[in-house]
């Protein structure tokens, strides 16, 4: 299916995971200490993207996989919004915002490509 055997091997997941790792680094900065809700929201959205990609990959039918990728794509958009909010509050640098948002956008683009591929399949992967 789409040239990978584990969800961790896909570009879509690797980009989202890199964004999540960057988010984890920035929320540990002291400037975030007073912004509990924002920390919770950005961690939840960045983790949700990766978790939904993993869950979707484990679904038997391509349509199920694509459905979870759509949810993951929305979580990536949410992460972009939260990191923008963090920059506006002055708790994250413009460079960190740019890096995280870029990773999220690239992952969203890969999601779209994989969704299109999955939507084009008629049945279970591998013709089983």
Extents of the domains making up the chain? 9-121
Q: Which residue has the tokens 């990191």?
A: 83
Determine phi and psi for 109, rounding to 5 degrees: -60, -40
* CA distance linking residue 79 with residue 23, whole number of Å: 9
The phi, psi pair for 61, rounded to 5°, reads: -95, 140
- 9-121: CATH number: 1.20.1440.60
Three-state SS at 29: coil
pLDDT of residue 123: 58
Q: State the Cα–Cα distance between residues 114 and 53, nearest whole angstrom.
A: 11
Q: Are 7 and 54 in contact (CB under 8 A)?
A: yes
Tens-place pLDDT, residues 45-75: 999 999 999 999 888 789 999 999 999 999 9
Distance CA 47, CA 118 (A): 23
CA distance 25 to 7: 23
What pLDDT digit, counting tens, does each position of 79-115 carry? 999 999 999 999 999 999 999 999 999 999 999 999 9
């Amino acid at each position: 299916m789409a040239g990978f055997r584990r969800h961790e091997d896909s570009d879509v997941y690797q980009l989202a995971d890199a964004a999540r790792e960057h988010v984890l680094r920035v929320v540990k900065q002291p400037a975030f200490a007073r912004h509990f809700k924002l920390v919770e929201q950005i961690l939840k959205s960045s983790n949700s993207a990766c978790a939904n990609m993993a869950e979707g990959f484990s679904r038997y039918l391509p349509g199920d996989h694509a459905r979870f990728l759509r949810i993951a794509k929305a979580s990536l958009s949410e992460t972009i919004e939260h990191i923008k909010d963090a920059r506006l509050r002055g708790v994250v640098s413009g460079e960190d915002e740019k890096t995280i948002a870029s990773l999220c956008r690239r992952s969203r683009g890969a999601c779209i490509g994989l969704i299109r591929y999955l939507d084009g399949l008629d049945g279970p992967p591998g013709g089983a």
